[in-house]
């Protein structure tokens, strides 16, 4: 039988001491870390970027198929992804948790193992947070802090007519992973049959352990590329591109045959009788970077295999459209993830 330590046996400060006992800082900008009333950060003349995310059990994740270590890792990734989407470098996070008494100390240790693994991967310091009780479910709130050279941050509101629309990586995999896991959960609940993930490690990994595109932001710096606008894909390509269009007061044209897919994921979509294009446009949680660049920068990105040009920006009067493989033109509709929908 697995050891179980009741969290109540430590008390709040004892718990925080336990969870941060081996916490080491990596950034010179971290002057004072955990253990005080506040952290102290000095970015030495660089500008500070701040973003925050709330993850709720039953809304953003399901613990019946999400290992706690993966959840800890993903909770950090979705936050640092927002910092990269500003063309900045993440440097610190603060994390607050609320949990019911069904969680043991060992369970929180698992979660924090994932948190620290992500901190190591992305070079960020955990510098503070809070813990509380929850009547039911697991609540995670993370704030990420990053730094950027003065005025080198990239907004959503600065795309221009004739810019190229680009995206990193491959799209739709996370949604397919979610579809598979939800299917297997339902079968298990109805029949008790053990889950069959059909060897689909790629799409399951895209959901449970996504990665933020640190490499793309580093490539921008090396190649001398300054995106004209940028956002990370959390709600789905169509929804997130429409955010850029609305805030920049522009339109766009996307080409279906330019959307980047993983071949294994595409085949599995067909097996599930799903349209891969719909998965890419509306799926969400890919955490790829969606950005626009001036046409003059095309030569700098065309040799990077991780970047696809998928369309271009137009005048706002032309609206937002998708050109299908057959050459038909359809209005681009936001059908992505909406956590406020009933």
Closest among 229, 213, 243, 234 to 165, alpha carbons compared: 229
Residue 340 clears pLDDT 50, i.e. is over it: no
Residue 316 clears pLDDT 50, i.e. is over it: yes
- What is the rounded average pLDDT of the residues 174-192? 94
Dist. CA 177–CA 171, nearest whole Å: 12
Rounded (10°) angle between helices 11-19 and 105-122: 40
Domains of the chain (ranges; CATH) run 7-148 (3.30.1330.10), 164-331 (3.90.650.10)
85 torsion bin: left (phi>0), alpha (psi -120 to 50), beta (else): alpha
| Structure confidence at residue 194 (pLDDT) | 87
- What is the rounded average pLDDT of the residues 45-55? 92
| Structure confidence at residue 109 (pLDDT) | 95
| Structure confidence at residue 304 (pLDDT) | 95
| Structure confidence at residue 297 (pLDDT) | 97
- What is the rounded average pLDDT of the residues 191-210? 93
- % of the chain with per-residue pLDDT over 90: 79
- What is the rounded average pLDDT of the residues 54-67? 95
Closest among 225, 241, 224, 221 to 233, alpha carbons compared: 241
Phi, psi of 107 (to 5 degrees): -65, -45
- What is the rounded average pLDDT of the residues 253-272? 95
């Amino acid at each position: 039988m697995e050891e179980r330590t009741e969290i109540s046996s430590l008390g709040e400060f004892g718990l925080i001491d336990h969870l941060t006992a081996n916490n080491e800082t990596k950034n010179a900008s971290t002057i004072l870390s955990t253990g005080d009333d506040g952290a102290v950060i000095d970015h030495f003349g660089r500008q500070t970027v701040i973003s925050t995310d709330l993850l709720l059990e039953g809304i953003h994740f399901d613990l019946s198929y999400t290992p706690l270590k993966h959840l800890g890792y993903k909770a950090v990734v979705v936050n640092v992804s927002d910092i990269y989407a500003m063309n900045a470098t993440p440097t610190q996070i603060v994390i607050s948790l609320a949990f019911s008494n069904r969680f043991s100390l060992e369970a929180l240790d698992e979660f924090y193992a994932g948190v620290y693994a992500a901190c190591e991967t992305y070079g960020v310091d955990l510098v503070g947070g809070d813990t509380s009780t929850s009547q039911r479910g697991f609540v995670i709130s993370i704030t990420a802090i990053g730094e950027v050279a003065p005025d080198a941050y990239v907004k959503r509101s600065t795309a221009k007519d004739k810019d190229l629309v680009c995206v990193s990586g491959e799209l739709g995999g996370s949604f397919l992973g979610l579809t598979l896991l939800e299917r297997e959960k339902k079968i298990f609940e109805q029949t008790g049959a053990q889950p069959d993930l059909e060897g689909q490690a790629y799409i399951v990994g895209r959901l449970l352990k996504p990665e933020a595109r640190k490499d793309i932001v580093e490539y921008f710096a090396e190649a001398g590329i300054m995106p004209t606008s940028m956002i990370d894909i959390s709600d789905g390509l169509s929804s997130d591109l429409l955010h850029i269009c609305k805030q920049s007061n522009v339109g766009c044209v996307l080409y279906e045959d330019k959307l980047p897919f993983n071949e294994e994921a595409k085949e599995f979509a067909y097996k599930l009788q799903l349209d891969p294009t719909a998965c890419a446009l509306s799926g969400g949680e890919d955490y790829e970077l969606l950005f626009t660049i001036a046409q003059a920068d095309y030569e700098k990105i065309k040799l990077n295999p991780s970047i696809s040009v998928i369309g271009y920006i137009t005048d706002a009067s032309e609206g937002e459209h998708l050109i299908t493989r057959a050459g038909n033109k359809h209005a681009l509709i936001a059908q992505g993830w909406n956590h406020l929908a009933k």
